[in-house]
Chain A
Amino acid sequence: MLISISLLILFLPLLSFLILIFFGKKLPRQGDWLGTAILIICLGLAFYVLLNTGASDKFNAIYNWIDLKDAPGFGPVKINLGILIDNLSAIMLVVVCLISAAAHLFSTKYMEGDAKYNRYYAYLGIFTFSMLGIVLTDNLLMMYIFWELVGLTSYLLIGFWYENPGPQYASKKAFIVNRIGDVGFFTGIMIVYVFTKSFTFSEIFAAIEAGQLTGGWLTAAGILIFCGAIGKSAQFPLHVWLPDAMEGPTPVSALIHAATMVAAGVYLVTRTFPMMSASALTFIAYIGLITAFISATIAITQNDIKKVLAYSTVSQLGFMIMALGVGAYTAGFFHLVTHAAFKACLFLGAGSVIYGMHHEQDIRNMGGLKKKMRITYLTFLMATMALSGVPLTSGFLSKDSILAGTMAFAGLTGGFNYIIPILAFLSAGMTAFYMFRLVFLTFHGEPKNKEKFDHVKESPLPMTIPLIVLSVLSFFVFFSYNPIDANIGWFAKYVPAVQTVVPEAQRFDFQKGTTEHIVNAESPASETHGENPAAVEENHSAFTEAVHHAHYPAMGLSLFVAGMGILLAFAFYKWKKFSADAVAEKIKPLYTFSLNKWYFDEFYEGVIVKGLLMLTQAFRWFDNKVVDGVVNGAAYVTERSSSGTGKFDNSFVDGLVNLIGSVVMFFGLIFRKIQTGRIQTYLAYVLFGIILFYFIFRTM
């Protein structure tokens, strides 16, 4: 039953795509109502699935895709595609359908009158289909398939306004950068497949637990699969595509580049979390940390409202990834869910502002909008508080869990790893600062562009309803009835930490010690420690206890940094105690470095892209001159030598023949001259001959 419903949720958006792409133009309002209605139905169904799926339920359906039966030397080759509904996918179903429905509704006004209106809705439909595919799959292969489809639909939507150079460049860049990550993902899948002979998550985990994939290969597989997440979730060093992707329509940014597609990478790591070895997790944690920190420093100086939000998204994705890396499994996924709601709200709010300002995106030209756009302002503010980690918001709960997780991790592993919580808190503080900077510059103060400001109106209902819904969802009550502790909320209970399946030697010490202890103490014979409930319980507690201890210090610190960030924003942009420009002037090198996004694009463009192009030119030369040169050279030599042979044949062999001919001819000519046919001449010759002979013989 749940399987059929989830299949319905999966395929309804595809149906929407098919109807709209082929018949959209003929439908009233080009079918936007159809797409929106379908998504609202999906949302209802998704809630039904969520309510009927218990925390430990697993519903699975399998469909055979490729069957090669028994392969010599390998064993049976059977590739299945399947659907899995468990706590993770049930929650993600709701998230994806909710944000997608919001974006659909919002777009009915935002995109109204666009030349390719029906196509736009069709693309939204197929995007939602692909995203739901990622969510519902039970195996890596299907994950990869939908993963690529998401990449394609993102390509189509970023490049939706392909007449302009910006979108066409950005869409191609997004696709290719994602593909680079996907090569890693693909290789990782192959390693897993070769060792475990399966793509299905549960079978892979069982095989790893049974010791079929261990050591360096296990770590490599983990890191390579994570490469997919580096691409999709815009992690350092492949984060460069996401800010550029803002060239797409703003509701698309809200749906794809804030809440769902970019969350796919985090979801992937969540799904594969049990097979990540300690080294892989450390790698993941540091990538997340670097991403969170770098993009927070960039977001501070950006002036395009969507670019600020884009870098903030990259930074928050870094937080989620980092959380998973340090083992705060629940916290990472929790932040994914809360972030989806308030970040979508922020993007749609930005869309509302851009709509009101007639496609003005530069916050330096805004200001004072709070008077004219009351609803947009309030919802935006609410979401900003959630993102900054102000108490009573959902963001406070989830970010606090992450920060506590980093502290616990640093405490358990020690040493250099203390850098993780330090930079994480710093980034959290910067988050609060740049978000309030954005609010002040956009909504407070005096309007900078009088002319545009005069025409600003609050956006119509189809745009404000999604804003209200999403901002309300940023309150803590939807996730935990205790505003300062997420651990006792339903979410933490619904998504408990999972047991790792990697071999003992490849776990963190804090994971290792407890299990060994349990196994030794209770039943030395028991080898299936992973399935031992007591072991699971105990193993959790090592990390959970550390988190528990870290909880209050983390909360205090996080309140402090968020407060400092907000305070600084007030000081700079509200009370005008300091001039932002003067400070920027003082730290000019740092400022320009941040403004230019750490020069990542310049580096990639100048070194990698240019290098590749030069390489292709060199290869072209090589192919034309050398490889083909050999062929043409062989032809040339053959032709030359044949013409040489020809010459030889002509002048020597034939020449000899001709020479003989010529000699004969010469004498012939002479003899012809001689043989005139006249008797007198012959008589003269005879006479001449006699005289000749006379002289010859006389001398003898």
Chain B
Amino acid sequence: MINNILSFLIFLPIILSIPILFFKAGKDKLIKTYTIAVTIVVFILSIILYFGFDASKSDFQFVEKVQWVTDFNIFYFLGVDGISLLLILLTTLIFPVTILAVWNSITTRTKEFYFLLLILEGSLIGVFLSLDLILFYVFWELILIPMYFIIGIWGGKNKYYATVKFFLYTMFGSLLMLVAIIWLANYATPMIGKFTTDYTELRKVSIFMPLNIQMWMFIFFGLSFAIKVPMFPFHTWLPDAHTEAPTAGSVILAAVLLKMGTYGLLRFSIGLFPLTFVRFAVPIAILGVIGIIYGALLCIAQKDMKKLVAYSSVSHMGFIVLALAGMTVESVQGGLIQMVNHGLSTGALFLFVGFIYDRRHTREIADYGGLTKIIPIFASLFLVVCLSSIGLPGLNGFVGEFMILAGSFASPNLHNNIYTILGTIGIVLSAVYLLWMYQRVMLGPVENEANRNVPDLNKREIISIIPILLFIVWIGVYPNTFLSKSEASVKRVIENVEAAKKNILNIY
């Protein structure tokens, strides 16, 4: 089994989602217990993978490669390295946590909801493990379907608008990616001697393609990733989708789906076109910094808690984009750990907004105030999560932001440290918008009588949030546990970039 563990990770949730359809309607509790059991098994599998993973190797491990479409040399090709390992762990952790946390939030069409959730988990893992471009594309597109229904069926007031926007926007991006995949494989055919979409084959030749052709392929790939991240100015689908999605949808969207974009940039944009990426590093860094500051300023202006958290994603993901543009070991390692951090912190923020929404059915900041007195446990844990998102040292956010800024500051690819210096403004602004929100919601006197009888977190909710808090502190205090796993892989990416810079520039 250990040899096929990657397939198990992908297909266990997908196959085990089918029995849900045959459960009797109305047996909600059974369905939920079943789903959470499946996700916990998947999580345990990923832990096994974590311990089986050899951190000293930078190559792909647990590789499975089977001819899929013979004529076109398309493979069923899976493999894990340090970069995808951390994202897999994040994904498999977030699912059981979310299901437990929102246990009672979904009351209609339960069967379909949990069915879609499992499909979503399997395809997300598939995205992070695929090493064949067509296989990657299939999983990438597969994600849209469950997400479309999750927002469209269980969403808020504007769910139709939000879900169609989400679907079409990301679809638009991925079509360009499909064009790029086919173009790339075609262009590489004479170089390799056959048509193939095998990533490991393609990346050997892609760096030798003419730079103007690389540029267009890079843009096509990059655009679809940029939409997913989302990078300014492609971010507007995100606040709508986040706000309208049910809590579970928002959490998964923020925690895992956005990482597909940054993962794609790191794996494919940088992996296939290192030199083009370096040429575009400055504009990418600029977009990242705009995202940091622009997203943060928009947070300050929000009146809706969920929208505020949504825009904070734009700001935080900006840091990761800056990290990738910096292209140094520290910054990329920081960016990678920040992907995990953002998944934990923002995921948790959405859970807390969801907790309070389930109780009061409003997300308007103005409807709250003084909640600390009424729900002290909620208040304390919420503060920890806010502080983690602010980047307080000792908690996870700091490690990521620190490594990103320190790494990109001296980056040879950015030529100038102004981007990093501007990025540090985001550190202040994140304190402004989160603490201000906390002050308005949690502190002060209780002015709205409707808030008087809000119950505090129950045991189930506390248990669900504990794993996240655990990792928030763990990464904050001893990040080496996780950084050491991805070190070799990240270093290899950087080495490839440096080698490309040296070799290719000599040719021209």
Contacts and interface: CB of A to CB of B under 8 A. Distances in A.
Given A68-B487, A172-B435, A619-B298, A74 B393 contact: no
Contact of B298 (A168, A612, A623): A623
B480 A65 contact: yes
A66 to B, nearest CB: 6
A7 interface: no
Interface stretch (A175-183, A421-429, A571-579): A175-183
Given A179-B427, A183-B425, A183-B427, A149 B439 contact: no
A422 B444 CA distance: 46
A163 B410 CA distance: 46
B363 to A, nearest CB: 17
Given A68-B487, A152-B387, A190 B406 contact: yes
B491 A74 contact: no
Grouping DSSP codes into helix (H, G, I), strand (E, B) and loop, the B interface class, with mixed when no group exceeds half, is: helix
A168 B444 contact: yes
Given A186-B424, A615-B297, A617-B301, A68 B329 contact: yes
B300 A148 contact: no
Contact of B393 (A66, A77, A145, A183): A145
A77 B435 CA distance: 34
A146 B483 CA distance: 22
Contact of B237 (A72, A620, A631): A631
B483 A68 contact: yes
Nearest to B393: A145
A327 interface: no
A425 B165 CA distance: 68
Interface in B287-338: 294, 297-298, 300-302, 328-330, 333
Interface string A63-74: 011111101111
A635 interface: yes
Interface in B436-462: 436, 439, 443-445
Contacts of A64: 480
Contacts of B375: none
Contact of A620 (B298, B330, B478, B491): B298
Interface string B134-168: 00000000000000000000000000000001001
Contact of A144 (B328, B393, B409): B393
Given A176-B432, A194-B410, A631-B169, A74 B427 contact: no
Contact of B328 (A71, A149, A176, A182): A71
Interface string A351-362: 000000000000
Contacts of B435: 155, 172, 175-176
B317 to A, nearest CB: 15
B297 A168 contact: no
A194 B232 CA distance: 29
A151 to B, nearest CB: 8
A149 B427 contact: no
Contact of A145 (B398, B427, B483): B398
Given A65-B480, A77-B330, A71 B491 contact: yes
A73 B333 contact: no
Nearest to B401: A186
| Majority SS at the chain A contact face | helix
Interface in A23-68: 64-68
B420 interface: yes
B392 interface: yes
A213 to B, nearest CB: 12
B15 interface: no
Contacts of B302: 620
Contacts of A612: 297, 300, 432
A180 B430 CA distance: 11
Given A73-B498, A635-B168, A168 B443 contact: yes
Contact of A627 (B233, B443, B479, B480): B233
A628 B241 CA distance: 13
Contacts of A141: 402
Given A66-B479, A71-B329, A175-B431, A616 B300 contact: yes
B456 to A, nearest CB: 15
A159 interface: yes
Given A149-B393, A619-B298, A635-B165, A176 B329 contact: no
A66 B480 contact: yes
B424 A77 contact: no
A194 B410 CA distance: 6
Contacts of B399: 66
Contacts of B196: none
A628 B236 contact: yes
B486 to A, nearest CB: 10
Nearest to A614: B301
Contacts of B127: none
Interface in B210-262: 232-233, 235-237
Contacts of A176: 428, 431-432, 435
B393 A72 contact: no
A570 interface: no
A140 to B, nearest CB: 11
A74 B428 contact: no
A187 B236 contact: no
A67 B480 contact: yes
A395 B432 CA distance: 39
Interface string A132-176: 000000000100111111001001000100111100110010011
Contact of B236 (A65, A147, A183, A631): A631
B191 interface: no
B394 interface: yes
Given A71-B330, A620-B301, A627-B235, 11 more contacts: A65-B479, A65-B480, A71-B328, A72-B491, A77-B329, A141-B402, A163-B444, A613-B301, A616-B300, A616-B301, A635-B168
18 contacts: A66-B399, A68-B483, A72-B491, A73-B498, A141-B402, A147-B393, A149-B394, A162-B443, A165-B444, A168-B444, A186-B405, A191-B409, A612-B432, A616-B297, A619-B294, A620-B302, A628-B236, A635-B168
Counting from the closest, the 6 A-B pairs by CB-CB distance are: A145-B393, A616-B301, A628-B236, A71-B329, A194-B410, A620-B301
